[in-house]
Structure 1
């Protein structure tokens, strides 16, 4: 099984975001340092500032949340989901865009990590 790790600023706040807005379930939590969430076949590790994954690299760089790499979650009725998430206070980097395979929008978790919500073309 493959897992995906996101560095987050606050593990509890991130758990609330992923479970409330995106349908993840909390599998296990290791205090404020780390949590493991699942959604179908996807396992998401949330690593807080006290996690070993957040330690500085030998060259001095410090891992941090954000960036443009992202998980993609397939959804139904993207406009309705995006509207409900906006009403719930979720931030988005863009508006819904359409491409050859469907439409997508990029939301941010509380630490600024990107989640792409994608509705495939019918």
Structure 2
């Protein structure tokens, strides 16, 4: 299940445990109660952003995953916050 809720400039994306957000990471880690809470950044070209960030020394928790809504990848910032880069399907 997935829900996209907006109110004014606020947008909240909610993914259920059987959605793609419930998939484990390549190392086998699974989302805990509350899921993979993260900062969500929308990008126009996810492959280019990943290449740029990797060249700058950042590492990612997984590879790009593509589903009906778009493509996403996760990284951890220097403070330990989970960050998702997301390219909506309509921008491809």
Range into which the TM-score falls when normalised by the shorter chain: 0.5 to 0.7
In structure 1, which of residues 74, 82, 89 is the aligned counterpart of residue 50 of structure 2? Answer: 82
Residue 70 of structure 1 is aligned with which of 11, 18, 38?
38
Q: Distance in 2 between matches of 1:97 and 1:90?
A: 18
Equivalences for 1:24-63 in 2 at 5 Å?
A: none
Residue of structure 2 in register with 1:91 after alignment: 59
- Which residue does the alignment assign to 1:31? none
Which structure is larger by alpha-carbon Rg, 1 or 2? 1
Paired with 2:64 and 2:50, the residues of 1 have a C-alpha distance of: 9
Give, in whole Å, the separation in 2 of the partners of 1:68 and 1:111.
16
Q: What residue ranges of structure 1 are gaps of 5+ in the alignment?
A: 1-40, 43-66
Instruction: State the alpha-carbon separation in 2 of the partners of residues 80 and 99 from structure 1.
Output: 18
Q: Which runs of 5+ in 2 are unaligned?
A: 1-8, 11-34
TM-score (norm. length: structure 1): 0.44
Secondary structure of 2:57's counterpart equals: coil
2:21 maps to which residue? none
How does 1:81-120 map onto structure 2 within 5 Å? 81-120=49-88
SS of the residue corresponding to residue 83 of structure 1 reads helix
